[in-house]
Structure 1
Amino acid sequence: MEIKNIESIEQFQQIVEDNDEFVLLKNSLTCPISAAANQEYESFSGQADIPLFRLHLQHARELSNYIAETYQIKHESPQVIKVEDGKPVWNTSHSNITVNSLESNCI
């Protein structure tokens, strides 16, 4: 599944409205741990059949804060959140973002 980059609250709200489930990666463009998590996410995308989205914190800080506040999930970077029926059902961060953890929790 292709990973789509998002930057705005409006885009995110539309994604929630249009999808029963999806996965989102919060990613920093300057952090080596984020770079590793992003590689794992991209590897996972080849086998995923769930919509995948990514926000780069340097371009979407307001959106990142909105997601943390809306879902009451402490902001971390990198961070993956799976959403089903408009609610977060799983999240993890840092070195826990692996192809295996994504397969176990998002497929």
Structure 2
Amino acid sequence: MGIFNKIFGSSDASDTPEPSKVTWMPLTDLLQLDTIVEESKTKPVAIFKHSTRCGISRMVINQFEKAYDLEEHQMNVYYLDLLNYRPISQEIATRFQVWHESPQLIVVKNGITVAHASHSQINGVALEQFV
């Protein structure tokens, strides 16, 4: 009954999505960028810029969450809702010298950008190399 399960849903517990392994930290204040720079001196920091109205962005963030395999103590991961916090996104572009795109992943270590990617290239970034 595969097609009917796709249309009407399935009661099979295996269809339930796994909880995200990413411990997202909401990025909602410009002052957090100073915190990110300081944190990055002892632990790498990733910033995921996400557009909540974009299907591609939703697909990429879902893939990112599924593939993420670092422990919480290895990297801090910030989530930026671009639509609600556009000024923060603009400051990230200026401060970390990365042209704004969406979705976008920026990795900061020792206060500087060490990697960045957008769209489907995000899931090609091997985060473990920065730990």
TM-score normalised by the chain length of structure 2: 0.72
Aligned residues: 102
Larger relative strand fraction: 1
Identical aligned residues as a percent = 29
CA-CA distance at 1:9 after TM superposition = 0.9
For the pair shown, the structure with the greater C-alpha radius of gyration is 2
CA-CA distance at 1:7 after TM superposition = 1.3
Do the aligned residues in 2 keep the contact of 1:27 with 1:77 (CA within 8 Å)? Answer: yes
Larger relative helix fraction: 1
Q: What runs of 5+ residues in structure 2 fail to find an aligned partner?
A: 1-21
Aligned partner of 2:104 in structure 1 is: 79
Aligned partner of 1:29 in structure 2 is: 52
- Name the amino acid aligned to 1:26: K
TM-score normalised by the chain length of structure 1: 0.86
Do the aligned residues in 1 keep the contact of 2:40 with 2:108 (CA within 8 Å)? Answer: no
Q: Which has the higher contact order (CA 8 A, sep 6+)?
A: 1
User: Alignment partner for residue 37 of structure 2, among 9, 13, 16?
Assistant: 16
Q: What CA distance in whole angstroms lies between the structure 2 residues aligned with 1:54 and 1:17?
A: 17
Q: What CA distance in whole angstroms lies between the structure 2 residues aligned with 1:5 and 1:44?
A: 20
CA-CA distance at 1:40 after TM superposition = 2.1
Report the secondary structure of 1:12's partner residue.
helix
Do the aligned residues in 1 keep the contact of 2:29 with 2:88 (CA within 8 Å)? Answer: yes
Do the aligned residues in 2 keep the contact of 1:40 with 1:97 (CA within 8 Å)? Answer: no
Say what the alpha-carbon RMSD is for the aligned residues: 1.4
Aligned partner of 2:25 in structure 1 is: 4
